[in-house]
Structures are given as structure tokens and as C-alpha cells.
Amino acid sequence: MQVQMKIRILVTLLTSAALTLSAFAQQANSGSSAPQTASATQTAATPQSGDTTHEPLPPATKGDFWDGDDPNLVNLVTHPFANKKYVQRLTRPIKDRLNELDQLTTSNAAAIKDVDARAQHGLQMASEKTNLADQHATDAAGKAQVASLAATEASTRVSTAEQKVGSLDQYKASALTEIRFAPGQTLLSKNAKDALDQIAAPLKNERSYVIEVRGFSSGHGQTAIAASQKMADSVVRYLVLNHNIPVYRIYMLGMGNAPLEDGAKTTRISGGRVEVSLLKNEALTSAQR
């Protein structure tokens, strides 16, 4: 009996001490939680300037030992152990915000990548256009150079042609040979042929020359002219047939009984006489060489 009484007294004392500590702890919690509740309410009412898209996280509500700042013996004795649902309920808002941050980061990375790809494409296109413009400029410069060379060559050819045209009539007599004929004779003698050979032999590979053949005969009127033409024809025929002198390089003229100018005197010949003059254009000859 005495032992049971002692146990009851001990239990009564422990219960009284627990109730007393609980009341004291509740008074202390009620005094300290009022300002905190007000500050939490003010914080929840004030919008955050940095985030205009999502609602701010709600402040934590302090209702027991695990949510409060001042633990007490009653909460320590009466609060159940934290379980998985309790932890998930507390961490769910944080996970949601983390997921939102991941989405924003992914979106920003995709936008940055797209901008970078566009910038690289633009730079590549600009580089290709620059290379194409450089190629066109190089081609144009090459064509201009070719055109300049062609113009210079054409100018040179024009100058050469002008020089040749200006020198067409610049023929000078380089030799004069006389072929004598007996009265009434039109055939060439041995001496006449030798003299013509000396004139024609050096002209085999020559160009820019003209041979002038003029016949003179004694007599009067048309008879003298016809005789002079026959003698001149004999000379031309020998040059063409025996030395292959082109006909277009020979100019023949029957002068008849025209007087000959012998210095200050003018005389008439007796019999027949043919003058063979070799005319050369030295300017054309040097240009052709």
C-alpha cells in the first residue's frame, strides 16, 4: 500500500510539472509569435518587384514545434515523427520553383542558341557575298587589263597602218637602165637582156618596188608612139616571162618621139630607146622586215 501511494504521488508531481511547463511555454510562444505573424503577413502582402510572372512563395505558418522557433516540452512529447508526406508537402513549392527556373534556363539557352545560329548564318552570307564581290572585282580588273592591252595593240596597228598608208607614194628611183634599139627594130639584143637580168635578179625576194618602163622612138605622130610601145612591150615581156616579175609592179608607157631632157638641152633621139627605172619604197621595206 505504501509503495502504491508513493507511485501515485510521483505521477501527480510529474503531471503537475508538465502542465506548468506547458502553460509557461504557451505564454512565451504567444508573446513572441505575434510580431513574427505580423511581419510575415506584411511580407506576404508586399509584391516582389523582380518577379512579375509568378506568385511569391507563401510564408510558413507556425503551428507546432516543427514549424516554430521556440520548442517546448509538450510539442516535443506530443508531435508525431515527420513522415514522407509531411516532407513532400513542405518541399513541393521549392520543387515547383526549381522546375520553373529550369524551364526558364532552358528557354533562355534555346533563344541564345537561335540568336547565335542566326548571327553565324548572317556572317557566313556576308562573307560569301564579300568573296563574290572580290571575285567580280578581280574578273573586272582582268577584263579591263585585257581590254587595255587590246586597245594598245589596236593603236599600234593603226599607227603602223597609217605609217604604211603615208608611205605608199614614197618611191624613189634607185637605178636607171637604157636599152638601145636600132631604127625599125623591136627585139632585145644580147646586151639588152644582160642589162635587164642585172635589174631583175636582185628583185626575186624583194617587195615594195615598182619598175617603170618608158619607150621612145624616132619619127612622127602615131607611128612613133606605136614603135615606142612595141619596144617597151619587149622589155616588159622579158621581165615577166624570164624573171617572174608581177605585171602589177610594172608601169609601161610609149612616149613616141617625145624629146629627152639632157641637162639644159632638149634633144630628139634617132632610132629607139627604152628607159627602165627601178623605184623602191624604203619605208615600207623596213616596216615589213
- Rounded to an integer, the average pLDDT of 245-273 is 75
Q: What is the pLDDT, as a whole number, of residue 47?
A: 45
Q: What is the pLDDT, as a whole number, of residue 45?
A: 42
Q: What is the pLDDT, as a whole number, of residue 271?
A: 73
Q: Which of 14-18, 76-80, 205-209, 238-242 shows the lowest per-residue confidence on average (mean pLDDT)?
A: 76-80
pLDDT at 31 over 80: no
Distance, CA of 82 to CA of 63 (rounded, Å): 14
Q: Which domain holds residue 260?
A: 172-288
User: pLDDT digits over 95-109, tens only?
Assistant: 888 998 999 999 999
Assigned domain for 69 exists:
no
Higher pLDDT, 233 or 9: 233
Give the number of domains in the chain.
Answer: 1
pLDDT at 254 over 50: yes
Distance, CA of 175 to CA of 260 (rounded, Å): 18
Assigned domain for 8 exists:
no
Q: What is the pLDDT, as a whole number, of residue 205?
A: 81
What are the distances in angstroms from CA 158 to CA 46, 74, 167, 212? Answer: 96, 124, 14, 31
What are the distances in angstroms from CA 80 to CA 50, 72, 74, 196, 245? Answer: 39, 14, 12, 151, 141
Mean pLDDT of the chain: 75
Distance, CA of 217 to CA of 187 (rounded, Å): 14
Assigned domain for 152 exists:
no
Q: What is the pLDDT, as a whole number, of residue 237?
A: 93
Assigned domain for 284 exists:
yes
Q: Is the dihedral of CA 264, 265, 266, 267 positive or negative?
A: negative
Assigned domain for 215 exists:
yes
Residue with cell 513542405: 90
Higher pLDDT, 39 or 86: 86
Assigned domain for 84 exists:
no
- Rounded to an integer, the average pLDDT of 134-155 is 90
Confidence band (pLDDT; 50, 70, 90) for 239? very high
The answer to whether 188 touches 242, Cβ cutoff 8 Å, is no
Assigned domain for 250 exists:
yes
Confidence band (pLDDT; 50, 70, 90) for 51? very low
pLDDT at 194 over 80: yes
Q: What is the pLDDT, as a whole number, of residue 272?
A: 87
User: pLDDT digits over 196-219, tens only?
Assistant: 999 888 888 888 889 999 999 887
Confidence band (pLDDT; 50, 70, 90) for 35? very low
pTM of the predicted structure, to 2 decimals: 0.42
The identity of residue 117, as a single letter, is A
Confidence band (pLDDT; 50, 70, 90) for 186? confident
Assigned domain for 218 exists:
yes
The pLDDT > 90 percentage for the chain reads 25
264: domain CATH number? 3.30.1330.60
State the DSSP code for 50: S
Distance, CA of 240 to CA of 28 (rounded, Å): 152
pLDDT at 68 over 70: no
| Cell triple for 156 | 599600234
Distance, CA of 69 to CA of 32 (rounded, Å): 9
